[in-house]
Amino acid sequence: FMMDASDPTQLSASCVQLLGLLSAEQLAKASVLILFNKIDLPCYMSTEEMKSLIRLPDIIACAKQDITTAEISARKGTGLAGVLGWLQATHRGNG
Ligand SMILES: Nc1nc2c(ncn2[C@@H]2O[C@H](COP(=O)(O)OP(=O)(O)O)[C@@H](O)[C@H]2O)c(=O)[nH]1
Ligand SMILES: [Mg+2]
């Protein structure tokens, strides 16, 4: 699930969408990676502030799924190695 870390005005809409996905029965057993993308752009709010504002720790604690978060820049490639590592670890043994 990708969130735009450079645009806090989308935060509540993204959060509602995320909560909808996490509560969907078909996704109860999904492994979830939440990406905060565009960390290369300046923003009046830090990613930590954004996480706190949507109460991400509570969301993670209450969700049935295993949730990982990563801060990335798809443009610069920042955090890409971590994303690939997560994909590899999560899908190991799944063919
Ligand atoms: N600076 C920056 N731009 C990005 C990044 N990832 C995607 N973009 C750019 O964001 C634009 C797409 O906008 P986006 O906010 O992702 O989608 P939208 O909100 O659905 O329009 C494209 O021009 C991408 O090149 C990133 O990590 N950093
Ligand atoms: Mg956007």
For residue 86, what is the domain's CATH number? 3.40.50.300
Q: Is residue 95 part of a domain?
A: no
Q: Which of 1, 3, 38, when mutated, tests ligand 1's pocket best, judged by the most ligand atoms within 8 Å of its CB?
A: 38
What atom in ligand 1 is closest to the CA of residue 2?
Answer: 16
Q: Is residue 46 part of a domain?
A: yes
Tokens 């509560």 correspond to 23
pLDDT of residue 95: 55
pLDDT of residue 92: 86
**10-residue mean pLDDT series, the chain (95 residues):** 98 98 98 98 97 98 98 98 97 73
The domain total for the chain is 1
Note residues around ion ligand 2 (Cβ under 5 angstroms): 4
C-alpha 22 to ligand 1 mean position (Å) = 24
Q: Which domain holds residue 82?
A: 2-90
pLDDT of residue 94: 66
Cβ-contact 52, 63 below 8 angstroms: no
Q: Is residue 66 part of a domain?
A: yes
C-alpha 15 to ligand 2 mean position (Å) = 14
Q: Which residue, among 95, 94, 85, 88, has the nearest Cα to 29 in the 3D structure? A: 94
Q: Is residue 59 part of a domain?
A: yes
Q: Is residue 28 part of a domain?
A: yes
